[in-house]
Chains A and B, each alone.
Chain A
């Protein structure tokens, strides 16, 4: 069990640029989740995949955000035209059916 892996760990970009993050879940987990965490807050849910199907999206996920899980394994989260308010830690988690969610170490995004 290698755990949930996220790449990159840190991303610094200029406002207006596009960024993409990758998440590799624990191999046998069919469920994958994205959360966003800002300073001093708990994680907030963004979206959920069961296998390759995106089944739930938060209203936090504006139209500049898109997530995919094309083959039901790894997932990507893309943010287009980044804004200052997008600066946060983006966390990925995975689980097997109704079992607890296990989190990766996150990608910290800083917008200049």
Chain B
């Protein structure tokens, strides 16, 4: 089945850019998502990209997709303390209804 990998921790200074990386195994993946989870809460959809796109920008968020390497990244510009949370990469493959998630990257923003 699909496997999604993320690094577990990232620490950045307030005002810097954060880059969170994700790799996946299923080349038939059609949609790729980034969700944010704050302590004790559910998952908030941040952004997503369709597999025929290379890049998507949404305000401070930039998603890059390298289909050849099966690599997805999320860049957060001008990172703020409110961005501290766990970020999950999730993949939706063709012919399946389920999302496959990575273990999440805990982003810590240092004031």
Interface centre among B44, B100, B101 (most CB of A within 10 A): B101
Check: A43 CB closer than 8 A to any chain B CB: yes
- Residues of A in contact with B, size category: 20 to 34
A102 near B97 with CB under 8 A, answer no
Total A-B residue contacts, Cβ distance less than 8 Å: 55
Bound-state CA distance A32–B33 (Å) is 18
A108 — which chain B residues lie within 8 A by C-beta? 40
Check: A65 CB closer than 8 A to any chain B CB: no
A103 — which chain B residues lie within 8 A by C-beta? 35, 42-45
Output the nearest chain B residue to A44 by Cβ-Cβ distance.
B101
- Residues of B in contact with A, size category: 20 to 34
B35 — which chain A residues lie within 8 A by C-beta? 103
Q: Which of B42-63 contact A (CB under 8 A)?
A: 42-45, 48
Output the nearest chain B residue to A55 by Cβ-Cβ distance.
B97
Check: A72 CB closer than 8 A to any chain B CB: no
CB distance from B20 to the nearest CB of A (A): 13
Check: B24 CB closer than 8 A to any chain A CB: no
Chain A interfacial positions (CB closer than 8 Å to B): 4, 6, 31, 33, 35, 40-45, 48, 50, 55-56, 58, 91, 93, 98, 100-106, 108
